[in-house]
Structure 1
């Protein structure tokens, strides 16, 4: 019976550790995890240190997924020692609120990056469409600002084709 309890405890600990790893890896900006074992031998994990007793701090690296909407840009360089104190230092914010602010900042950055990626996707689609329509055609007509139908000559048409090709090569995946 005791051996079964130990196996069960080890199994539960592994499941909790795997669950913690999944939560930590998927959470935006989580950099510290605090762990402790209570009187019953159960291991606990938290983003805030335990109020009483000892807890161990585990540093966790953020996941970087290059080439995806979840990719994030490098953070700003650390401040020089003689630089002005940060808001957290001057207001005395707790580390938990500083971590929350960091998570919110990273979430905003990801949202901005997602929006920028959506805009780039629209531009890529526009240039692909333009290339499909303009490249094989000999006569390309468009409506100008005054509402008149205007025909592009071959030089203008080829310039438009080159512009679209260049944009697609520089900014859009094949």
Structure 2
């Protein structure tokens, strides 16, 4: 039984290339491109290769990683540090914004400092506007 399956699979795999026929491509007088198994009479046609090339994968070797340029390693490390710094800043911003949003939602009598340094109470409309702004900032910048 196993021998029959192996033989059938082998024949099936080989039959695909044996069954492949020649394909022709040509453009008619109206500029329309046609494809067919037979070339047109009295017109030149281009033969198209229908064989699919075998793709061989090459596994990366350990030696390739060890020959990495030291300058590239330094640049990669610098980028990693910068990304980590930006991520830490983003997390801190998100935490602060979430805390501010919680304060705005839970306390209808919020006091802020104006540009002169004097404390003042936010009106309800301004408080709602700041809540919307905080929600938008969290949605945009925080995960």
SS in 2 for 1:145: coil
1:67-92 deviations in Å (ceiling 9; x for gaps): xxxxxxxxxxxxxxxxxxxxxxxxxx
Per-residue deviation, 1:145: 3.0
Q: Secondary structure at the match of 2:63?
A: strand
Deviates more, 1:140-149 or 1:150-159: 140-149
Q: In structure 1, which of residues 83, 98, 101 is the aligned counterpart of residue 71 of structure 2?
A: 101
Could you list the runs of 5+ residues in structure 1 that have no partner in the other structure?
1-30, 36-45, 49-95
- How much has 1:32 moved relative to structure 2? 6.3
Q: Please state if 1:149 is matched with 2:119.
A: yes
How far apart in 1 are the matches of 2:115 and 2:92? Answer: 23
Superposed, 1:120-159 pairs within 5 Å as 120-159=90-129
Consecutive aligned runs of 4 or more in structure 1 exceeding 4 Å deviation: none
| Structure 2: 5+ residue stretches without partners | 1-59
Alignment partner of 1:135: what SS?
helix
Please give the per-residue CA displacement for 1:34-64, whole angstroms capped at 9, x wherever unaligned: 29xxxxxxxxxx824xxxxxxxxxxxxxxxx
1:168 matches 2:134:
no
Structure 1 length-normalised TM: 0.44
Paired residue for 2:66?
Answer: 47
Specify whether residues 102 and 152 from structure 1 end up closer, same or farther in structure 2 by C-alpha distance, changes over 3 A only: same
Give the alignment's TM-score, normalised by structure 2.
0.53
Larger radius of gyration: 2
Q: CA RMSD in A?
A: 2.1
Q: 1:135 to 1:32 in 2, by over 3 A?
A: same
Counterpart of 1:34? 63
Say how many residue pairs are matched. 84
**Contact 1:139–1:152 (8 Å) recurs in 2:** yes
